[in-house]
Amino acid sequence: MKVYSFPRGGISFDDPTVPSRDSSVVAFLPAFSVIPLTQYPGGSADALVSVGDLVREGMLIGKGQNPDAANIHATVPGKVVRSVEWKDNEGRPHEALVIRMEGAFKCLGKKEENFFRGSMNHKELQQLLTDYGIVEMEGSGRPVAGMLAEPGGTGTAQTLVVRCVFDDPWLAADYVVCRERIQAVVEGSYIIARSGAKIERIIFAVSYKEKELGQALLAESAQQHDIPASVIFTGSKYPQRNRRELELALRNYEKKEGVDLGSLLVLGPATLAAVHDAVKYHRPILDRYVAVGGSAVRKPQVMRVRIGKRLGDLFEECGGFVDIPYRVATGSPLCGKPVVNLDEPVTKTSYAVFAMLKAQTGDDLKRDCISCGECRSVCPVGLDPEELYKRIMVLHSARSPGAEECHGCGCCELVCPSHLPLSDIIMGKIAEVPRG
């Protein structure tokens, strides 16, 4: 078995507080749902309903203001009882509608009608994905229709890359999606590929440790005959799934195998399952798989959660906390975003949420750089984070030469014995380092 990876740096790690990937549980429906009208930094949606209005499950309640903003739908039936606003840790304001659940469900527990009767052209697919608010659920939350409309997506030959790379144990929810919804993932891939987007092949990029999953994806795709599909096994060191490192591995494959992949359209399993649901059942993103864990959580588990469910309710459903958590964040501990309060909701991009005890976070006291060089050894870009950090902090250079190549994977911060926020400093997210 050939394995293709990026050439240098990266880290391998495990976390025993991650929930099991064996299966998922369906979370309770929330009595109150908090539906943000801004779920992606590119733009917000205009509210189409007001306080006091009744909404249906799947009803359009927010219209994207521009191509970078996704449509927003009610995930439960009920009454809009409040409009709220809060700021995240980066100071960005978020407006949301609070829906009190009541009334009958349109989708839940009912057989869904299959609206897909064959192939559709590129424009039809883009419009459908726009209408149902389909976004890149494993990434930044960009609308998928916009990704299909990019220059590489219409004129030149393309390869659709289904990213099933699990370099981080906190991607447990994505793994469960691949297992439990494998047919939807594969069918969603072929819906994209057949849309007239010049996609000539499909590649399932799978971590080499998940050989069985790769074989299952290929077996499922064998039922489709018009577009060739293959599996490429990648490395499993973090940050293999990042766009740059994944493309390095694929271009290495391209060179060694003598094939022309053209431009790459990279989508993840949750996104492709959502594409399948939108096209086949005219269903917006109502829920998603979320890994809930951390040392402070009594019963970690992968849960299928309605968008808008509050994080506090999610932790409570996992047995609550064993003690007061020291850190709560969404995403991976490697690059997660701190949670301001537990009333924040699950969004379309919330693949994981964790709560850690002080003992799990370790000594986070920031000290002076000791010039150990550990950061250099793990940087996948080949930068010298130590030198860049010192130029910025000591010489007061706002953006040191070379800093623009950093993509903020956080490997340097993870191995730094002085606990310095190296990648944040280099990328200009923070201006100075507080001392302990």
Task: Domains for the chain: give ranges and CATH numbers.
Answer: 3-16+112-281 (3.40.50.11540), 374-426 (no CATH)
- pLDDT range class, residue 41, cuts 50, 70, 90: low
Q: Are 34 and 343 in contact (CB under 8 A)?
A: yes
Of 332, 304, 294, 298, the residue nearest 318 (C-alpha): 298
Helices 269-281 & 182-193 angle (0-180, nearest 10): 70
In whole angstroms, give the CA distance from residue 339 to residue 354.
10
Of 389, 336, 342, 190, the residue nearest 276 (C-alpha): 190
What's phi and psi for 393, nearest 5 deg? -85, -40
6-15, 223-232, 376-385: range with lowest mean pLDDT: 223-232
Report the percentage of the chain scoring pLDDT > 90. 61
- pLDDT range class, residue 152, cuts 50, 70, 90: low
Question: The whole model's pTM is what?
Answer: 0.91
Q: Are 409 and 242 in contact (CB under 8 A)?
A: yes
**What residues contact 321, with CB distance under 8 A and at least 6 apart?**
296, 297, 298, 315, 355
Q: Are 292 and 217 in contact (CB under 8 A)?
A: no
Please tell me what DSSP assigns to residue 129: H
Edge-to-edge order in the sheet of strand 54-55: 32-36, 93-101, 78-87, 54-55
Q: Are 299 and 25 in contact (CB under 8 A)?
A: no
- Count of residues in the chain: 436
Q: Are 127 and 148 in contact (CB under 8 A)?
A: no
- The pLDDT assigned to 395 comes to 67
User: Looking at residues 413-424, what average pLDDT do you find?
Assistant: 86
- The pLDDT assigned to 117 comes to 67
User: Looking at residues 345-366, what average pLDDT do you find?
Assistant: 85
In whole angstroms, give the CA distance from residue 72 to residue 61.
6
